Amino acid sequence: MSLLRPLLVRSLTMVGVFFVVLIMLVLTLGLTGFSDRILAATIGEQLRGERTALAETIRDPDEMEKVLEKRREELEIFYGLSTPWYYRLPRTALRVLTLDLGEARTLRSFDGSNRVFDIVTERVPNSMLLLTTSLIITAAIGIIGGAYLATRQGSWLDRFVSGFAAVSFAVPTWWIGILLILILSIQLRILPSGGMYSTPPPTQPLARFFDLVSHALLPVITLVLVSFGPSIYSIRTITLNIAQEDHVKIARAKGLPESRVRLRHILRVAAPPIVTGLMFGLAGSLSGSILVETVFNWQGMGRLYYDALAGTPDENVIVALTFIFTLMYVVIRIVLEALYVFLDPRVRYTD
Amino acid sequence: MSMASALRELLRSGPGFGGAGLMCLLILVALYVLLAFPLDFGESQWSNPVVWVDNPKAVPPTWTNALRREALPLHRVFEGTEPHTVQMARSGPVHSWRFPLTYASSHPPTFLAVTLADVKYAERPPLVLISLKRPDGKQLRIYRHAVRGPREDESGPFQRYAQTPLRVQLSTDEATVTAAQNFLADEFDLRLNGAQIGGRVDRILFGVPAGDSDEAFAPLTGDYEIIVQAALRAEGDSVGKVRFVVGGAVFGLMGTDSLGRDLARGLLFGLPVALFIGVIAAFMSTAIGTTLGIASGYLGGRADITIQRISDIVANVPVLPLLIFMLFIIGPSLWIIIFILVAFGWPGLTIQIRSMVLHMRTNQLIEAIQSLGASRRRVMFRHILPQITPYVLAQLIFAAPSAILAEAGLSFLGLGDPSIPTWGQILETGFRTGGIYVGYWWWIVPPGLCIVLTALTFMLLALGIEPIVNPRLRQPAS
Amino acid sequence: MTSLLDVRDLTFHYADRAGAVRAVDNVSFSLASGGSALGLVGESGSGKSSLALAIMRMLPSNVARYDGQIWLDGQELLGLADDRFRQEIRWRKLALVPQGAQNGFNPVLRVGEQIIEPLVVSGTAGKKEARARAQELLAYVGLPTDVYLRYPHELSGGMKQRAMIAAALILEPPLVIMDEPTSALDASVQTQITNLLKRLKKELNLAIIFITHDIALASDVCDDLAVVYAGEIVEIGSAEQVLLHPSHPYTQRLLASIPRLHADTTPQFIPGAPPDLREPPAGCRFHPRCPLAFEPCAQENPPAFELADGQMARCWLFEDGQEER
């Protein structure tokens, strides 16, 4: 029995997703002429630089123009501007695939590098920290709350949670974040309104950790607040459906303790559909965290998006971010798919 | 089930009734906005600072005074076209406007501004004088303006301030500062220099020295009068419009933003935009999703496999990063937002409709109809489509909130269409300019509430409709 | 002589939104000893599955009434605390193969694990010992021992049914209730399972309560038959008595409705539908559909009248001793 083959089959869609996004990037850059404009601007800048350098040696303006024209042609070939975008961009895409992401215009990494790779990758752990923490908390609340709610079907609490879940779908996550800042940081001054560390950050490791926690509290609360209602409700429904299945009846008839029935025969069986739910919610969670990072000035990829869009736009950073974001999404999805295949023997192939 | 009985059942359920009621309300307000606002409201008004120049900046709504121990000053605008009195002086006719102002607040006005428009004269330019008469009987001239005389190549009659009215912010005008300085020296024997007065002109004009220190002023409440006089040089000369603004610290129903924009108007205009985005995006993605779903389920074979594969992939694309990217490259436009939301919004429905159609295709009735020789197309449109229509309708309503939220999120990132103000954009300016950090809640909370209310209306409606359309249709897909 | 199982006046009602459902009403029967089988026969909705659940004390949360007496091996079960009932009776003395045992296995755990679970949880045996025992049982019910390591979805319907029976036997209970154990299987597999049940009776001295709607199938396996109608046992007796001399009009109709291969009679359908157990008809519950109904039938529910050697019927026709059959 192999776990690998079903996993490969299930991951194929994700690889497709990845390439679709890549193709969309290339098409957008090419069809809008955006790529040509950027290259022309880069070449122009370089030529201006060279002109000042050449002015030392070449006095004759005509000859200067001739030299520069020749240089321009060389550069156009070098950057690929002489060929149409549909020849050039696939090569660029390949370059991007090898994580050669170019250089940023104005944005810098925390230690001053202008390589987009450095700028983006140093943000990934920060984003993951926020995302995984809130996902785990949401899942924990969902599983405990959902399992509990399944035992009180039709109670006022049950109805309240189902209404709360519906409302959650109508609330923008980031706005909740703003409200929390307004109430908890500005009015009550309980928690910091943004950033990841105080300025200056504490140097002692333990103090630093608690500083980080206090800064993470509001964004995590925000993300959990809008997602735990739907999470409880869907797990409640899954659990209820499973609790009515015959094998649960049998487990009880076997004289097993109720706790064992709940854990092994209800929750364990609910695990695969819960993971499926996580998979469907993942894109939403990622989008939510882009915006929540922006609100709380959390130095992750989402905030980087905002910084790259505001002020002088940084094209390379935005292309790279979109790419890395998709990559991250695809990787997490594949991890979840693996978890699913591991949890649900029914999708495994038998020899 | 007939339409009428379905409607009755909808109104009987709690969410259905709430959703339908709210939706009616929203549609009524949206219709009012469409009639009362120009369609180019965004460009001609919202993004045009001239429109909002006389409003106080970033002040809370007027009704918040009811919650305060000490009321903040109201915003007062006085406007006159025909002069209130006309006198003949030696130099010519003097037109005067007198604006009575009962000032009750213990805070000074936030600013004083005067605007003159449509000045006409035959030969010599008129002189405009503005005085303030205070409750303590003291009167001072706070502004004096000589309208610009004829230029060399110009011939009469002369027109001034026709296209761009003259607006003077008295609170910071040098002439007014000097007038205040003299007033204090003459009346209270208090000598302050320009720097000490700067920025506190309003406090001086609407107060008396408090005595304990040179720079403290106690508010003076009571009946004031603002007197605008235009000394004209000839019969027929005129000042077409006079406007005097006593800036308040509260404004309107919803307050203002940092540019003085009336948030109530922005919020109102946001409603039809949000409804439009929700309905159009939902409608188009539902149409595509349904068509492809029926085609996939009914045609089968290669078409089915192709559509399934594509929808599988498209359904799993993380849309927000792609949206950000494309809006950034192509430029922020409401149509692009809608286009992308539609382009990635259909697959979920396609997958569901397909399984429903597959289920129905094995239905004996459909098989019988087919064996009687009905064409494929006829079976699809006459027999399958009507059965899934109610379900599709519910999905359409379900799809609207996500489109509204997506647009709001993008606007919040600064990718909103600048020519059309939306709730997300109002929030974005509030956030970007730091409005939340100084506690401008009236700028932050209402737009979000509007988004939630609108999205919730669709949600409630969908929740109300679902049980009506579903029991017949929600069969387990095999 | 005390019998292995003695059920007396067992009553089980549950409440739903529309009222109390009288699923089991005043049911009494007994099962003499190991190696014998009692068939509970009735239409669907007659309450026979509820009877099984009531004996296993697997009650829904909305139970409205649950009383009577159940004596198993000289022990009264209804008076037993829930915890003791779970630990001492379930699966140890009383196992259940449920209706649709196809879904009786947890889909994400291996079959073997689920078979030995009660053994391991109660601490009676180590895992190794339990496994050996389970594999022995699997072989006994006619399955390859590697089924132990397989997942339920890898087994066919018939295999799952056998594995379920093996699971029921793991604690060597004296009595197993089998609820429609063969209904979802095709005919040849059905025969294999009934043969297996007969072997269990004979070789393991197992007592079986066999619940089915198929009276012919029941007669193949069972020594005694009880006919259930609307939550009551309307006739009970040895298989021979009930089949050859059906007394209750319902039993007679039920037998007449079975198509026979070598007979001139056409199968007769019973007119009308089984009653709503929320409001069963006053008097005899069968009287609205009974062609032989007379005045007392609508007035009062008949008690069980003894006919001969343990055969009993709830029908006013037998009030005055043993009248004509």
CATH of the domain at A197: 1.10.3720.10
Helix or strand holding residue C94 (H, E): strand C94-97
Q: Of B405, B462, B469, B389, which Cα lies nearest the Cα of B22?
A: B462
Q: Rg of chain B's alpha carbons, rounded to an integer?
A: 32
* Mean pLDDT value across chain B: 87
C179 contact partners, CB below 8 Å, separation of at least 6: C49, C52, C96, C97, C98, C99, C211
- In tens, the pLDDT along B206-225 reads 888 887 676 678 888 899 99
Query: pLDDT at residue B393 above 90?
Result: no
Judge whether B282 and B400 are in contact, CB under 8 Å: yes
**Would residue A58 count as lying in a domain?**
no
pLDDT score, position B436: 84
Range among A304-308, B192-196, C318-322 with highest mean pLDDT value: A304-308
- Residue A196: inside a domain, yes or no? yes
- Whether residue A73 lies inside any domain: the answer is no
Q: Is the pLDDT of residue C73 over 90?
A: no
Query: According to the 3-state scheme, what is the secondary structure of C137-186?
Result: HHHHCCCCHHHHHCCHHHCCHHHHHHHHHHHHCCCCCCEEEEECCCCCCC
pLDDT of B201: 86
Task: Encode burial over C91-115: b for 16+ CB neighbours within 10 A, e otherwise.
Answer: bbbbbbbbbebbbbbbbbbbbbbbb
Q: Of A315, A291, A299, whose CA–CA distance to A110 is shortest?
A: A299
C235 in Cβ contact with C312 (< 8 Å): yes
Which stretch of A318-322, B15-19, B192-196, B213-217 has the lowest confidence by average pLDDT?
B213-217
| Interchain contact, A286 vs B330, CB within 8 Å | no
Q: In this predicted structure, what is the pLDDT of residue B229?
A: 92
Q: Out of 1.10.3720.10, 1.20.58.220, 3.40.50.300, 3.40.50.720, select the CATH number for domain B3-48+262-473.
A: 1.10.3720.10
In contact, B441 and A182? CB cutoff 8 Å: yes
Q: Please tell me which residue, B213 or B451, carries the higher pLDDT value.
A: B451
Confirm whether A174 is domain-assigned: yes
A350 contacts in chain C (CB < 8 Å): 154
CA–chain centroid gap for C136, Å, is 27
Strands C224-229 and C37-41: parallel
Among A238, A250, A347, the strongest candidate for a mutation testing the C interface, having the largest count of C CBs within 10 A, is A250
Distance in angstroms (rounded) separating the CA atoms of residues A167 and B355? 29
Substitution target in A14, A20, A178 with the highest count of B β-carbons within 10 Å is: A178
Minimum distance, in Å, between the CA of residue C140 and any CA atom of chain A: 20
Residue A52 maps to a domain: no
B159 touches B120 (CB < 8 A): yes
Q: What is the ipTM of this complex?
A: 0.86
Task: Give how many domains chain A has, as a whole number.
Answer: 1
Q: Nearest Cβ partner of B439 from A174, A187, A322?
A: A187
Please report whether residue A316 resides in a domain.
Answer: no
Q: Rounded to the nearest 5 degrees, what angle is found at the Cα of B151, between the Cα atoms of B150 and B156?
A: 45
Nearest CA among A118, A80, A27 for reference residue A317? A118
Tell me if residue C268 falls in helix, strand or coil: coil
| 3-class secondary-structure state, position B478 | coil
User: In chain B, what's the furthest Cα-to-Cα distance?
Assistant: 108
Torsion angles phi and psi, residue B197, rounded to 5: -90, -35
**C32: pLDDT confidence band, cut at 50, 70 and 90?**
confident
Number of DSSP helices (H) and strands (E) in chain C, helices first = 10, 12
pLDDT above 80 for A2: no
Question: What Rg, from alpha-carbon coordinates, does chain C have?
Answer: 20
Inter-residue contact B56 to B248 (CB < 8 Å): yes
Cα atoms in the 13 Å half-sphere on the side-chain side of B114: 23
Residue scoring higher pLDDT (B212 or B88) = B88
User: Over 90: is that where the pLDDT of A296 sits?
Assistant: yes
Mean pLDDT score, B9-28: 88
Angle formed at CA C274 by CA C269 and CA C277, multiple of 5 degrees: 170
Phi, psi of B151 (to 5 degrees): -85, 170
The C-alpha of B247 sits at a distance from chain A's nearest C-alpha, in angstroms, of 27
pLDDT, tens only, B150-159: 888 888 788 8
Residue among C316, C287, C292 nearest C302 (CA): C316
Chains that touch A (3 or more CB pairs under 8 A): B, C
Q: Tell the burial category of A312 from Cβ atoms under 10 Å away from its Cβ (0-12, 13-18, 19+).
A: exposed
Q: Evaluate the omega torsion of the peptide bond into residue C275 and state whether it is cis, within 30 degrees of 0.
A: no
Cα C143 to Cα A182: distance, rounded to the nearest angstrom: 68
Q: Check residue C323 and give its pLDDT.
A: 47
Write down the pLDDT at residue B477. Answer: 34
Tokens describing residue C168: 């029921």
Q: How far is the CA of C3 from the CAs of C149, C237, C241, in angstroms?
A: 39, 15, 20
| pLDDT for position A351 | 45
Residue B228 CA from chain centroid, whole number = 34
- Does A152 fall in a domain? yes
Question: How many Å apart are CA B461 and CA B468, to the nearest integer?
Answer: 11
Q: According to the model, what pLDDT value does residue B298 have?
A: 80
Give the residue from A20, A322, A326 with the most B CB atoms within 10 Å of its CB, the best one to mutate. A322
Reported as type and span, the H/E element at residue C112 is helix C111-121
Question: For residue C213, what pLDDT band results from cuts at 50, 70 and 90?
Answer: confident
Do residues A64 and A51 lie in contact, with contact meaning Cβ atoms separated by under 8 Å? Answer: yes
Domain locations in chain B? Answer: 3-48+262-473, 62-246
Residue A57 confidence (pLDDT) above 50: yes
Q: A-C interface: how many C-beta pairs under 8 angstroms?
A: 72
> Can you state the angle between helices B301-315 and A4-31, rounded to 10 degrees?
80
Distance CA(A37)–CA(A42), nearest Å, equals: 9
| CATH of the domain spanning B62-246 | 2.60.120
* Residue matched to tokens 């609508």: C298
Position B266 confidence tier, pLDDT thresholds 50, 70, 90 = very high
* Distance between CA atoms of residues C265 and B33, nearest Å: 81
* C-alpha count within 13 angstroms, C-beta hemisphere, residue B45: 12
Cα separations in angstroms, A230 against A119, A179, A224, B37, B462? 35, 20, 10, 39, 16
Q: What is the rounded distance in angstroms from the CA atom of residue C125 to the CA atom of residue C123?
A: 6
Cβ(C275)–Cβ(C47) under 8 Å? Answer: no
Place of tokens 């359920």: B13
Question: Strand order in C207-212's β-sheet?
Answer: C94-97, C175-179, C207-212, C37-41, C224-229, C232-238, C311-313, C305-308
Sort A58 into a burial class: Cβ within 10 Å, 0-12 / 13-18 / 19+: middle
What's the pLDDT band for A174 if we cut at 50, 70, 90?
very high
Hey, which of A34-48, B7-21, B422-436 has the most confident mean pLDDT? B422-436
Backbone angles phi, psi at C13, to 5 degrees: -120, 145
Give the span between the Cα atoms of C14 and C231, in whole angstroms.
Answer: 12
Interface A-B: count of C-beta contacts within 8 A: 136
Counting every residue, how long is chain B?
A: 478
Q: Given a cut of 80, is residue C198 above it in pLDDT?
A: yes
- Establish if A59 belongs to a structural domain: no
pLDDT attached to residue B2: 67
Structural contact between residues A351 and A1, judged by C-beta atoms closer than 8 angstroms = yes
Q: Element (H or E) spanning B102, and its range?
A: strand B93-103
Give yes or no for a contact between C75 and C55, defined as CB atoms under 8 angstroms apart.
no
Which residues does B212 contact at the CB level (< 8 Å), separation at least 6? none
Residue B263, both tokens: 């948030």
Q: How far is CA B114 from CA B34, C80, C137, C245, in A?
A: 32, 93, 101, 114
Contact A179 B444 (CB under 8 A): yes
pLDDT tier for residue C325 given thresholds of 50, 70 and 90: very low
Query: Measured between alpha carbons, how far is B355 from B350 in angstroms, rounded to an integer?
Result: 9
Among A9, C130, C140, C78, smallest CA distance to B312 is for: A9
B326 neighbors B340 (Cβ within 8 angstroms)? yes
Residue B473 banded pLDDT, cuts 50, 70, 90: very low
What pLDDT was estimated at residue B411? 92
Of the ranges B1-5, C138-142, C208-212, C319-323, which one carries the lowest mean pLDDT score? Answer: C319-323
Q: What is the span of the domain harbouring residue A226?
A: 123-311
- pLDDT score recorded for residue A86: 79
pTM, to two decimals = 0.84
Contact C185, C157 (CB under 8 A): yes
Distance from C-alpha of B297 to C-alpha of B355, rounded to nearest angstrom: 7
DSSP helix/strand/coil, C301: coil
Q: How far is B402 from chain A (nearest CA, A)?
A: 8
Neighbouring-strand partners of residue C27:
C10
Partner A contacted by B288 (CB < 8 A)? no
Strands B217-219 and B207-209: antiparallel
The answer to whether the Cβ–Cβ distance between B445 and A25 falls below 8 Å is no
Say whether B456 and A170 touch across the interface (CB within 8 A). yes
DSSP label at C85?
A: I
Q: At what angle do helices B263-299 and B423-432 cross, to 10 degrees?
A: 120
Residue B183 has a CB neighbour count (10 Å cut-off) of 20
Residues of A contacting chain C (CB within 8 angstroms): 245-247, 249-257, 260, 264-265, 268-269, 271-272, 343-346, 350
Question: Residues with Cβ < 8 Å from A222, sequence gap 6 or more?
Answer: A173, A174, A176, A177, A180, A292, A295, A296
Position C1 confidence tier, pLDDT thresholds 50, 70, 90: very low
How many residues does this entry show for chain A? 351
Judge contact between A99 and A113, C-beta under 8 A: no
